[in-house]
Amino acid sequence: SQKIEQNSEALNIQEGKTATLTCNYTNYSPAYLQWYRQDPGRGPVFLLLIRENEKEKRKERLKVTFDTTLKQSLFHITASQPADSATYLCALTMDSSYKLIFGSGTRLLVRP
Amino acid sequence: DTGVSQNPRHKITKRGQNVTFRCDPISEHNRLYWYRQTLGQGPEFLTYFQNEAQLEKSRLLSDRFSAERPKGSFSTLEIQRTEQGDSAMYLCASSEDSYEQYFGPGTRLTVT
């Protein structure tokens, strides 16, 4: 069956450390993989998009890697801050459609 | 504010009633999407429009759900004969000629 797995347990880290979140997928061949941030009671906010032929993408303190052989993406936040505390969702897009297929998200808590 | 807007933000209804939600996308965006999200899960795709054409609809969407985008601008999502299992956050998103999507704040539906 098709699955997108993100760590359901919250990630709890100290301010200033690097947060690393994982997204694994099974039986999908996505053309694009995206990461979104969601705060409680709000809609997701787009962060980064990476294409299947790209291995890494960076934006300020954020970095995403995409390994289509391992069927995995890693999302890193360097020099984390309490304001980074939120739920982070990964989402796949297939070549044939614009819809997003989301994982269930990982909650990040950055302690001051 | 030029982001995606949704109305109402909250709706409480009794089982068996019909409800309608509205989404106003970012003005130059030609694609509009509806998702549903329950607690602890990522958003689940319902349907999407390119301009006024409904191009894709989830197979999970029962025939009690209907969506329209009559002039290619705002969209409405109607749920007929609501059931308790319809209680969720209904999210609308829009995009231009790109894969990243911009979400509204959502409409929280509670069916009693």
Distance CA B46, CA B66 (A): 10
Q: Are strands B31-37 and B88-95 parallel, antiparallel or unpaired?
A: antiparallel
User: Do B56 and A103 lie within an 8 Å CB cutoff?
Assistant: no
List of chain B residues whose C-beta atoms are within 8 Å of the C-beta of residue A41: 105-106
Instruction: Kindly write down the DSSP assignment for every residue of A83-98, as one continuous string.
Output: GG-EEEEEEEE-TT--
**Total count of residues recorded for chain B:** 112
**pLDDT for B97:** 82
| A9-23 average pLDDT score | 96
| B9-27 average pLDDT score | 97
Query: Which one of A48, A98, A102 would you mutate to disrupt binding with B, by most B Cβ within 10 Å of its Cβ?
Result: A98
Distance CA B6, CA A78 (A): 34
Distance CA A65, CA A63 (A): 7
Amino acid at A83: A
Distance CA B84, CA A106 (A): 27
- Residue B1's pLDDT band (boundaries 50, 70, 90)? low
Distance CA B45, CA B31 (A): 14
